Chains A and B, each alone.
Chain A
Amino acid sequence: MSDRQSDRQSGQQFASILFPPELADRALDDTEPTCFSDLNLDQLVVRLSRGRSLQRLQPLFWTQLPSATAVSYRQEAIREIEQPAMAAVMAHFREGFATVLQQLDLRRHTRYAWQQRRCLLDAADLYCAAVTDLEHDLAASRPTSTALQGLRDAVRRYAASAGFVRLREEAQQARDQLGRVTYLLHVRGHRIHVMMPEDEADLGEQVADLFTRFRDMDVTTTPVPYRRPGGFSHIDAAVLEEVAALHPEEFGTLARFDTEHRDFLDPTVLRFARELEFVLAVLELKVDLEARGLPTSFPAVTEDGDATWARGCYDAALATASGRSGRSATSGTSGTSAGEVRTGRPVVTNSFELGPGESIMVVTGPNQGGKTTFARTFGQLHHLAACGCPVPAEDAGIRLVDDVFTLFERQEDAGSDRGKLQDDLVRMRHILHRATRRSVVVLNEMFSSTATDDAADLARRVLDPLLDRGCRGVCVTFLDELAGYRPDVVSMVADVDPEDPGRRLFTLSRRPADGRAYTDSLVAKYQLSPYDIKRRVLR
């Protein structure tokens, strides 16, 4: 596929719907980012790869895009494919292409020459139909994104190329010829005679005709399908050889086709088919989330924006972890909308904003109050945005990251406190080493194994360089004194129901840390105030 005119227009020629031409040849990351398991993105990717090749999709989900233009190239492509008309075009192509791969797969697995040849023909035939339809459909749907315009032009050039036209014509000719072949088998004992048919009557039909006079009321008979347990055998192959001998012309055409079109798959088409799976997986996730009453959006991604913010964001992995639910509810106090997971616990949405001069949110509040979920959400938003994907939020403005670093407490290294602290510090050192002003850090209950004074001091020592560098991030902690300890630290607190302090709302508010308020209300609820205790003990 080469076209000088197109080269001149776009600088480089179209190769991918996911990468602009200048990035098309960049290698994908081949290992999972360390943040994936902490953010539960690994589960999410597995879930949305269902029915697809996980090995092919994973690298695309692992690799962050290096520029805002690359992000918008991909966002535009995904958004356009999301449109119902274009989605139908893509679904049709996907279906057709899957059958091509099926036949090629069968070719690799059979050992009978006439079957192998026919599989190649079938695959080529299906492939030509898929490409022709795609060309037609893309032209008719007038794509607007750079990616799909590039695809349209590339497919148009390819479909008009001499090689493709010949492939299509010869495939059709061979298929038509073989389609006309019929043969008569006389099966008797251990012999099968293969003959040309001579207009013998259909036995089943004849019998049925004989009994039509008994048809009055409808009878319920269901045809019983038969699936031969053995499949295509050496006997079938031998019969096929005789059929070929009876029809030398048709099978001659097939043999010629096979030698001339061994490698008919165009690399650009193949790449498109694989990348389409990524787009469809992403869109399936979007539909799934929306069906649960949860918003999604394509974030505004900048390279050097001042603000990082999201409205109505939530943990996408948590939201999809349970069975489907179309319900949505609005929680009155915070005005956030929420999908409901099967456990009955609502998926709560939150909002946050890091304005100019603000870098890291310190999150405090009651346990099980949605703090860790919020931290994961923050990390997910940044990674997914950097992959050009829609994010689990109603609306978001995200600064492009070069990396997402996470530090979550590890269950497995439950050794001595000293061992744990050391482990935390080792991992922290790695982060401090690598984090830049474009990095995101998600720190969850770090140094929780140390005494409070120590921990606060250590935490400040870790946070200071990150803040100085201008990293964005979330730090979940039980240390109230970290909340707002510097002007670039924003304090977020997990909410409880003012009426029933035992009930977590799983929402967070931007306000100063208030550890006492929460414990006071619990005391009141359980009637454990000194007065109450006196009254109850003395009654």
Chain B
Amino acid sequence: MKVRLMHPDLPFDPSPDLPAHAGSVTEDLGLHLLTDAMARGDDFLEETAWAALFQLPTETEVIGFRQDVFVDCLEHPDVFRTLYAVAAESPKVERGILLGWGTTRPMARLSRSRHVMLGHLALLRRVREVADQHAADMRSPGMRALFASVHSELSDDYLAEVERYLDLVDFRGGLFETARLGLANEGTEYVLRVPARRPGVWETITEAFHPHTVTVADRDLAGAESVAELKELGAVLAADALARSAEHVKAFFVSLRREVGFYVAALNLCESLRRGGQPICRPRLRTGVGTSARSLYNPLLVLRGEAPVPSDLEADDSGLVVVTGANQGGKSTFLRAVGIAQLLAQCGLFVPARELACCPVTGVFTHFRREEDDRMESGKLDEELARMSAITDRITPGSLLLCNESFASTNERDAAAVGGDVLLAMRAAGVVVHLVTHQYELAARLREESGGGTFLRAERPDDGSRTLQIVPGDPLRTSFGADLYDAVMAAAP
């Protein structure tokens, strides 16, 4: 009974802590808005989304495996939503059982586990129903395998057998246990036993005359307590075993909820984007470096109810993309769109574009100019470089580094010298770099010394208005701060 919807062979484990750079990536790309749209208020889905966004598979086959499952999900959303709802019942089963909560007494634990199991038995039957109904509709290998295993592993016979054993743990006919003699002739190695046969009517009548019987006198409270202890001793191992079994069953439902939930979360996002009238597409993953896209847009704008400005990008085989151009020319938005598309595509999901082809990266890192930087005058470059150093601690060859106005806290010349050195070294180390900058000298140096790369500009038509589109173009010496100044002044009352 394995759930394998995220990887053909491996379970999805969300437990590893998010990487240290996850915080800045989240903040820089504005991922909270994205995960909110995925989760729709469901904490479990949100947690799943975060874990998936920061555990990117790098094999194109795994990504394709997920894409196939997601196609099933887009075509049969009800199946996924129902499975998710059933799996989400699991924690409620346990919450509903007050008996034996927090106790260490084996008999109470045993009884609690039994009730937990009975509750889950009902859920297993519902999972089985969904599988029986929809097995034929599924096309992806992931979903077909899941439903096949549900069908065979949760057979009627099996479910009946489970019920029979859970019934035994109720001890209505008394409790059977074996023991051996330990030090000081105290009983040890107590083990609960399945009675060879149920005591019949005859035994019930004659048991009072059993030759080796110890009977507790009516008012012997200490004796009664001692008998209770003997039962507890017997129940220790079985209580552990049943508790462990219950954990396994619960873990199955957690996996089911997690892996189905991933696609439900993705479905939520896609529905939101479609409602905003925007296209989504199944991205093409290939090996190598570079990204190319048609009508790539930043989904966060759609989620905020704004109209995005789609851009095209032709950077196949390019490990360096530099975007220059006017302030507030849509450069940052574009950079975020690239980053988010990379994350979604590599997660195995659909992306906000008409067409997109990209290559798996080993990690996505961001180095964005921070708003708060403006407040602290001294030590800004110090702080920037500290962050860059922290990134350097973690980044690996084949990672994607998104830089937004990095080194802008220093003057053009220093930025060109320091920033140029850093980014060229990153490139040389095999890191894919996307840089957005208004600093001409830095861009120019990269243009000169990188030996390739894609250079884009935030496009500015001649009339001085902004279309916020990103088009190919070499760095220009002038920025457009004057325009912005004029615009702001004009808007002021």
Contacts and interface: CB of A to CB of B under 8 A. Distances in A.
Interface of A: 103, 106, 110, 114-115, 117-119, 122, 178-179, 181-195, 197-208, 210-217, 219-221, 223-226, 228-230, 232-236, 238-240, 242-243, 245-246
Given A208-B241, A233-B222, A233-B226, A217 B177 contact: no
B223 interface: yes
Contacts of A200: 176, 178, 193-196
B221 to A, nearest CB: 11
Contacts of A232: 184, 186
B150 to A, nearest CB: 11
Contact of A182 (B153, B179, B207, B243): B179
B216 A206 contact: no
Given A181-B180, A182-B180, A217-B11, A187 B230 contact: yes
A186 B105 contact: no
A180 to B, nearest CB: 9
Contact of B106 (A184, A193, A195, A224): A224
Given A119-B184, A187-B227, A242 B212 contact: yes
A204 B166 CA distance: 11
Contacts of B207: 188, 191, 193
A225 B239 CA distance: 10
Nearest to A218: B251
Contacts of A246: 212
A215 B248 contact: yes
Interface string B87-109: 00000000000000000111001
Given A224-B239, A235-B216, A235-B226, A118 B184 contact: yes
Most A CB within 10 A of own CB, among B176, B208, B232, B242: B176
A191 B239 contact: no
B232 A240 contact: no
A119 B248 CA distance: 42
B3 interface: yes
Contacts of B248: 211-212, 214-216, 219
B245 A183 contact: no
20 contacts: A118-B183, A178-B181, A187-B227, A187-B231, A187-B234, A190-B218, A191-B208, A191-B214, A203-B165, A207-B165, A207-B169, A208-B245, A212-B248, A216-B1, A219-B250, A224-B239, A233-B223, A235-B230, A242-B212, A246-B212
Given A207-B238, A214-B252, A233-B223, A182 B162 contact: no
B224 interface: yes
A198 B251 CA distance: 36
Given A217-B13, A230-B229, A118 B185 contact: yes
Contacts of A205: 241
B105 A226 contact: yes
A214 B169 contact: no
B226 A216 contact: no
B238 A204 contact: yes
B178 A185 contact: yes
Given A103-B184, A203-B194, 7 more contacts: A187-B175, A192-B214, A200-B195, A204-B238, A204-B240, A219-B244, A221-B240
Given A122-B184, A203-B192, A239-B214, A234 B245 contact: no
A239 B185 CA distance: 11
Given A119-B184, A179-B180, A219-B251, A207 B215 contact: no
B8 interface: no
A253 B249 CA distance: 49
Nearest to A196: B212
Interface of B: 1-3, 11, 13, 104-106, 109, 153, 161-162, 165, 168-169, 173-181, 183-187, 191-196, 207-208, 210, 212-216, 218, 222-227, 229-234, 236-245, 247-252, 255
B222 A230 contact: yes
Given A214-B1, A219-B247, A190 B224 contact: yes
Given A191-B215, A203-B238, A204-B242, A182 B178 contact: yes
Contacts of A226: 104-106, 232-233, 236
A103 B178 contact: no
B255 A216 contact: yes
B178 A238 contact: no
A198 B109 contact: no
A203 B226 contact: no
Contact of A206 (B165, B186, B215): B165
Contacts, number: 222
Contacts of B242: 204, 207-208
B336 to A, nearest CB: 34
Contact of A106 (B184, B237, B249): B184
A124 to B, nearest CB: 13
Most A CB within 10 A of own CB, among B106, B178, B214, B249: B214
Contact of A184 (B105, B178, B216): B178
Given A204-B238, A233-B223, A235-B223, A122 B183 contact: yes
Given A106-B184, A182-B178, A216-B251, A198 B245 contact: no
A188 B173 contact: yes
B241 A192 contact: no
Given A184-B193, A200-B193, A216-B252, A236 B186 contact: yes
Contacts of B180: 179, 181-182
Nearest to A185: B177
A246 to B, nearest CB: 6
Contact of B247 (A213, A221, A228, A234): A221
B251 A186 contact: no
Contacts of A234: 222-223, 226
Given A183-B178, A228-B232, A190 B1 contact: no
B1 A217 contact: no
B245 A239 contact: no
Contacts of A194: 212-214
B256 to A, nearest CB: 10
A101 to B, nearest CB: 14
A197 B178 contact: yes
Contacts of B229: 228-230, 233
Contact of B174 (A186, A207, A223, A245): A186
Contact of A214 (B174, B194, B234, B249): B249
Contacts of B244: 208, 219, 221
A463 B208 CA distance: 92
Contacts of B105: 226
A19 B2 CA distance: 72
A202 B179 CA distance: 12
B185 A115 contact: yes
Most A CB within 10 A of own CB, among B191, B207, B208: B191
Nearest to A193: B210
A15 to B, nearest CB: 32
Nearest to B218: A190
Most A CB within 10 A of own CB, among B169, B215, B224: B215
A237 B165 CA distance: 32
Contact of B192 (A202, A235, A245): A202
Contacts of A240: 185
Nearest to B107: A226
Given A213-B153, A219-B247, A185 B176 contact: yes
A246 B236 CA distance: 26
A185 B193 CA distance: 10
Contact of B193 (A106, A117, A203): A203
Contacts of A190: 215-216, 218, 224, 227
Contact of B194 (A178, A195, A201, A224): A201
Contacts of B210: 191, 193
A238 B220 CA distance: 14
B194 to A, nearest CB: 4
B184 A216 contact: no
B127 to A, nearest CB: 12
5 closest A-B pairs by beta carbon, nearest first, are A188-B174, A204-B238, A204-B241, A200-B193, A211-B245
Contacts of B177: 184-185, 187
Contacts of B3: 216
